[in-house]
Amino acid sequence: MMFHRSADVAALLDRLLAVPVGARVTWGDLSDTLGRDASARRHLVYAAMRIALREHGAVFASIRDVGYQRLEPKLAVREIGYVSRRGIARRARRA
């Protein structure tokens, strides 16, 4: 089965890949790319980020209320691991 990318996902993918390592892309930038509110269409942003990771090795971390930051691939494992461990610990304390 062959999946086709929508024009919105392709535009977001191009925008995400244009972000240099260490730089941020804001929700405003993503909304400008779409021509609509990107935060209301997060599924398109998530799809573009999955493709960026799978096909180009581009890793992004969420920055609350700002957007996303492109991580250096070597540091991404350490950063994502730390964030995941912290979240798991927080959820475990609440349970």
Reported as a pLDDT band with limits 50, 70 and 90, residue 83 is low
CA dist., res. 12 & res. 46, Å (int): 10
Among 52, 41, 55, residue whose Cα is nearest residue 8:
41
* Selection from 45, 43, 50 nearest residue 29 by Cα: 45
Neighbours of 82 (CB within 10 A): 10
pTM: 0.75
Per-residue pLDDT tens over the stretch 6-58: 899 999 999 999 999 999 999 999 999 999 999 999 999 999 999 998 899 88
Whether the predicted pLDDT of 95 surpasses 90: no
Angle at 62 between CA 4 and CA 40, to 5 degrees: 55
The encoded tokens of residue 6 equal: 């929508």
